[in-house]
Structure 1
Amino acid sequence: MGLPTIDIIFETKAVSAVKRSEKGVVALILKDDTGAFDTREYKSSTEVLPEDWSERNLDLIKKAFIGNPSKLIVERVDTAAANYNDALNRLKSKLFNYLAVPDESAASDVATWIKGCRKNDSKTYKAVVANHIADDEGVINFATSNIQVEGEAYSAAEYTCRIAGILAGLPYTRSATYYVLPEVEGINEAADPNSEIQAGKLILINDGEKIKIARAVNSLTTTTVEKADEFKKIKILEGMDLIKEDISRTFEDEYIGKVNNSYDNQVLFLTAVNAYLKGLQGEILDPSYNNKVSIDVQSQRLAWEGIGVDVSDLSDQQIKEKSFRSKVFVNGNLKFLDSVEDLKFNISL
């Protein structure tokens, strides 16, 4: 009978995509012995009880809320804990966009955990860590120290909470590049900002009037055919993650186990996906590009050949109609919109 709900779900997701992006979720893991609980969730800073946290951790929670995320998930661990594994395990079953742990010694473990979640569990988690070369698109390496706010000095690790809040609160139409942090009065400025950025570091710069984020890049520096320069941009990766999450979740909720794997049903599903992608054009995808997905004929052909079936005489259309067991093979090309960040202005006299 087809997929009566798929079209409606994807249409709704496309319409709400930018709105949803403006209200991302931040996860924090804080060492604190003030309370005896594991988790607290807050939708605004007014919900945070001062008696639950140390003065410094309370301050960091409020710093995260400045960026206007929709929610904070705060995992507490004892100050004597050897690591953050218990808190990370609790987070694995929760939905959030950006993780921050204001402890530079935890950066390597957090980065490794994020890489594993994105690769093995198909999660779209991202983390802001301090001074750690992760070389991964899911990890933002924040590398500005001695951040001065109202006479207080904050380390890069502590200010990852603020950065995570900023990134979670921005819409897909806005890059964090040149995002101003009005509360910051001074920083240790990078001697060569361009080199820092090229090394995959997110840094703050002082333009003489304002202190702001330099180019909004993640820690990826090693590019491949599969991961080109575009993967270095936080804004573009956000769009990629949105589409991956929307399609995957809808496929799991409305398709897996509920629909026969026939060619007709695959076409219905792909038609709905392409309508969803069209709804993202102008906000996330380039409307001048043919953003479209279809059945991956080559992969489907190889799947049949892999079990010894000779399909060499079949046309591409015949291969499309010859669905393979429970698998749905899809490919396509998308062009994501970047933000305006560079200007070349030639003047002739």
Structure 2
Amino acid sequence: MSWKTQNKRRPGAYFNVVGKGNNNNGTDIGRTLLPVGTQLNWGAKGIIKLNSDSNFKALLGHDIDEPELQTLHEVLKGANTVLLLNNNDGIAATANDESLPWAFTAKYPGTVGNDLHVTVQKSDSKVIVSTLLGSRIVDQQDVNVDKPESIMSNDYILVKLTDRTTPTSPTTQDSDDNSKAPIVKPTSLNPLADLQHDVTVDLTGGTTTPVDISDLLNDALETEDYDVATTAGFPIDSPLHKKLVDEIKHLREDNDIKVRGVVPYTGDKVNYEGISTVANGVILGDGTELDATVAAGFFAGASSSANAAKSLTYVEYPDAISAYPKFSNDRTIEALENGEIVFTTKRNETVVIEQDINSLTKVTAEKPVFFSKNRVVRTMDTIVTNTKRTFEDMFIGKITNSSTGRDLFKANRVSYLQSLADANVISDFKEDDISIEAGNDRDSILVNLAVKPLDSMEKLYMTMVVQ
């Protein structure tokens, strides 16, 4: 957390990140938190972890190219992992046909479950059990007629053996010799053995009762492990955008959790280095028009995957052929000065991120102009996050707060910071740039660190003399 005086009660690492200079113009990454902006009517409530190889139909009830997953599709163009926040809840569809030994229940609640069907086809000593979603076969199993219990639940339907297969009471065979024990003839009911024709059952009764996405988002922002959170896909006037902005500020300032947020530009100036706002959208190669609310998803995904040595300036938007709308030169400059992300059409029908900036526009001594560059912010966040985790994992409660212990922590940090310098993340680092002293309390230390984050080339000024 940030600190003003050395008066913290809880063990932990507390950070202040401020700028110094004039006002001139390593962790695992790639995880984007995305609340759903459309009702999916299927899937687990809460966080669903997804990547480009996920079975979207099974997990979300829709294919990745369907309109319901349009924003997710764009986020996955840049993110390694998407933590999709699903607000689906309700009643799961069911089916229980008397001619079969099984009861079927949709794996998730929601109306999509009403599109599930199960067909059972007799084939000699086996039955072929097929699960269909609509007209598509999504699971198929061969089950021995004498072993109905061998059927397995699948990604869409939970299967339970019913009491229609429960053994009946034993029967005894008459014997002339009453001194002998009766012969037990166990019998059982097995509808599969008596099946005379194919059977199709339809799951019904599935309902959707969505929960408040706002409540789910509050909890996810506080508890999940992600790099960037976005409200892409929600209408411009959704109150969720401001809620995300406020929570990201709270996490960064009060808890030292250095996550970032991406929202479409709503007309309100955010003026914060942890939030990027997206001003326009793109047109894809197939003619699909994506406004800023959806295109913000791509920038969020790409931002979550960018490390401290990478800038997203002039990074191409995959599959896009034109900005939507296209901004004039003056409008582009205006948007950049307002701290907005702009998509720009370049040659050969390619679209790029004009400049990798955040919404910070009010420059101060503690937040110089370079705080508005996302690569610089990622560098600062990386150093804070790595230092926090190292201190918590290796030093809290384990190392004595003596000059020797403090020297160990300094050596660890010097080695780490030197690795950043070697990777061209920071420049001119010297061992004297970090000092570690005893704090006011016996269990505290005070760290002072000066770093110079590097940025990427973005402007070329050339004078050519022709003779």
> Which of 58, 68, 84 is the matching residue for 1:74?
84
Instruction: Please state if 1:64 is matched with 2:75.
Output: yes
Distance 1:52 1:272 in 2: 44
1:216 is aligned with what amino acid?
Answer: D
Instruction: Please state if 1:42 is matched with 2:57.
Output: no
Instruction: Please state if 1:265 is matched with 2:401.
Output: no
- Rg comparison, structure with higher value: 2
Give the TM-score normalised by the residue count of structure 1. 0.80
Check whether the contact 1:141–1:202 (CA below 8 A) recurs between aligned residues.
Answer: yes
Distance 1:179 1:194 in 2: 18
- After superposition, the C-alpha distances for 1:299-348 in whole angstroms (9 at most, x for unaligned) are x5xx4xxxxxxxxxxxxxxxxxxxx3222111121011101111111123
In structure 2, the CA distance between the partners of 1:274 and 1:110, relative to structure 1 (3 Å rule), is: same
- After superposition, the C-alpha distances for 1:175-216 in whole angstroms (9 at most, x for unaligned) are 100111141122202232112111100110112432110011
Matched positions, count? 305
In structure 2, the CA distance between the partners of 1:140 and 1:45, relative to structure 1 (3 Å rule), is: farther
2:23 aligns with none
Instruction: Please state if 1:281 is matched with 2:426.
Output: no
1:159 is aligned with what amino acid?
Answer: A
Please state how far the C-alpha of 1:50 moved relative to its aligned partner. Answer: 5.7
Q: Per residue, is there more strand in 1 or in 2? A: 2
In structure 2, the CA distance between the partners of 1:91 and 1:170, relative to structure 1 (3 Å rule), is: same
> Which of 7, 25, 30 is the matching residue for 1:24?
30
In structure 2, the CA distance between the partners of 1:256 and 1:211, relative to structure 1 (3 Å rule), is: same
Classify the secondary structure of the residue corresponding to 1:343.
Answer: coil
Distance 2:283 2:445 in 1: 50
1:130 aligns with 264
Distance 1:81 1:203 in 2: 34
Instruction: Please state if 1:179 is matched with 2:307.
Output: no
Check whether the contact 1:190–1:196 (CA below 8 A) recurs between aligned residues.
Answer: no
Check whether the contact 1:77–1:84 (CA below 8 A) recurs between aligned residues.
Answer: no
2:447 is aligned with what amino acid?
Answer: V
> Which of 177, 196, 218 is the matching residue for 1:88?
218
Instruction: Please state if 1:335 is matched with 2:452.
Output: yes
Matches within 5 A, 1:232-311: 232-290=372-430, 292-295=433-436, 300=439, 303=440
1:73 is aligned with what amino acid?
Answer: L
Distance 1:172 1:47 in 2: 31
1:35 is aligned with what amino acid?
Answer: W
Classify the secondary structure of the residue corresponding to 2:321.
Answer: coil
Check whether the contact 1:65–1:165 (CA below 8 A) recurs between aligned residues.
Answer: yes
- After superposition, the C-alpha distances for 1:149-179 in whole angstroms (9 at most, x for unaligned) are 5222222111222111112233433210011
Instruction: Please state if 1:230 is matched with 2:377.
Output: no
Matches within 5 A, 1:311-330: 324-330=441-447
In structure 2, the CA distance between the partners of 1:56 and 1:88, relative to structure 1 (3 Å rule), is: farther
Distance 1:81 1:34 in 2: 11
1:338 is aligned with what amino acid?
Answer: D
Please state how far the C-alpha of 1:53 moved relative to its aligned partner. Answer: 4.5
- Find runs of 4+ consecutive structure 1 residues off by over 6 angstroms: none
> What stretches of structure 2 of length at least 5 have no aligned partner?
1-25, 89-208
Matches within 5 A, 1:126-205: 126-132=260-266, 133-145=269-281, 147-186=283-322, 187-191=324-328, 192-205=331-344
Q: What RMSD in Å do the two structures reach over aligned CA positions?
A: 2.3
Distance 2:33 2:372 in 1: 22
In structure 2, the CA distance between the partners of 1:288 and 1:61, relative to structure 1 (3 Å rule), is: same
Instruction: Please state if 1:346 is matched with 2:463.
Output: yes
Check whether the contact 1:167–1:176 (CA below 8 A) recurs between aligned residues.
Answer: yes
> Which of 227, 233, 237 is the matching residue for 1:97?
227
Give the TM-score normalised by the residue count of structure 2. 0.61
Distance 1:53 1:98 in 2: 25
2:67 is aligned with what amino acid?
Answer: R
Check whether the contact 2:245–2:261 (CA below 8 A) recurs between aligned residues.
Answer: yes
In structure 2, the CA distance between the partners of 1:91 and 1:57, relative to structure 1 (3 Å rule), is: farther
Please state how far the C-alpha of 1:259 moved relative to its aligned partner. Answer: 2.2
Classify the secondary structure of the residue corresponding to 2:396.
Answer: coil
Classify the secondary structure of the residue corresponding to 1:280.
Answer: helix
